[in-house]
Amino acid sequence: MTIATYGAAAASFAALVHEIPADAWGMPGLGDWDVRSLVGHTSRSLTTVRSYLQTTADTEDVATPQDYYVHVTPSALGIDPADVAERGRQAGRDLGDDPAAAVDALVSEVLDELTTVDGDPLIKVIGGLGIRLHTYLPTRVFELAVHGLDIARALDIPLQLPDAVLAEALDLATRTAIVTGRGDSVLLALTGRSALPPSFSVV
């Protein structure tokens, strides 16, 4: 089910990229990123799966998707946020003259590779940490969903995420809020009892 949900998230992202007007790629996207850089950053949820499938870890350092967002963050790993931003810009440049076609190709390639995976391999992600593939994929569903919404909001493009994708992303968001000590705040906000502070984020 995880691979199917990941596939639905990837397909939704690819369809959204096709909706981006030709003159919109240099428009503001998110933070320091323009739309091309934001799409490039989002496409890394395709390219990292492909590259990490070529690795093998010796130990399972990250046991759950929510733990990924505790241990595999720029601050936890000592990564300069400027380097993360530049990787997004480079990924955007790598999409070339036809970003939609490039994203289509990435989606096709990664989904083809996932069909050949045997079991639930222990892969190595950024920071050299070991994680099971089926533990890692929900984090990529989350990224594709959240940044898909970022892109849609930046360009005022309607986006209806698949129900399974939205459910996976919401589940991971709430579980991450719990492990980071903010579960009560999220529950109270979701039930209309209090408002979340400005710029509140679970990741």
Say which CATH architecture domain 2-190 belongs to: Up-down Bundle (1.20)
Those residues whose C-beta lies under 8 Å from the C-beta of residue 106, and which sit 6 or more positions away, are: 43, 46, 47, 50
Kindly tell me if the per-residue pLDDT of 44 is higher than 90. yes
CA angle (75, 81, 86) in 5-degree steps:
145
Q: With beta carbons less than 8 A apart as the criterion, state whether 53 and 133 touch.
A: yes
Predicted local confidence at residue 81, as pLDDT: 83
Kindly tell me if the per-residue pLDDT of 181 is higher than 70. yes
Among 134, 123, 117, which Cα is nearest to 57's?
123
Predicted local confidence at residue 53, as pLDDT: 97
Q: Which pLDDT band holds residue 155 (cuts at 50, 70, 90)?
A: very high
Predicted local confidence at residue 1, as pLDDT: 66
Predicted local confidence at residue 127, as pLDDT: 87
Q: Quick: pLDDT tens for 50-103.
A: 999 999 999 999 999 999 999 887 777 778 888 888 999 999 999 999 999 999
Kindly tell me if the per-residue pLDDT of 117 is higher than 90. yes
Q: Return the DSSP state at 171.
A: H
Could you give the CA distance from residue 99 to residue 125 in angstroms, rounded to a whole number?
Answer: 25
Calculate helix-pair angle for 2-18, 133-155, nearest 10 degrees. 20
Predicted local confidence at residue 84, as pLDDT: 87
Q: With beta carbons less than 8 A apart as the criterion, state whether 99 and 25 touch.
A: yes
Predicted local confidence at residue 78, as pLDDT: 79
Mean pLDDT of 10-16: 98
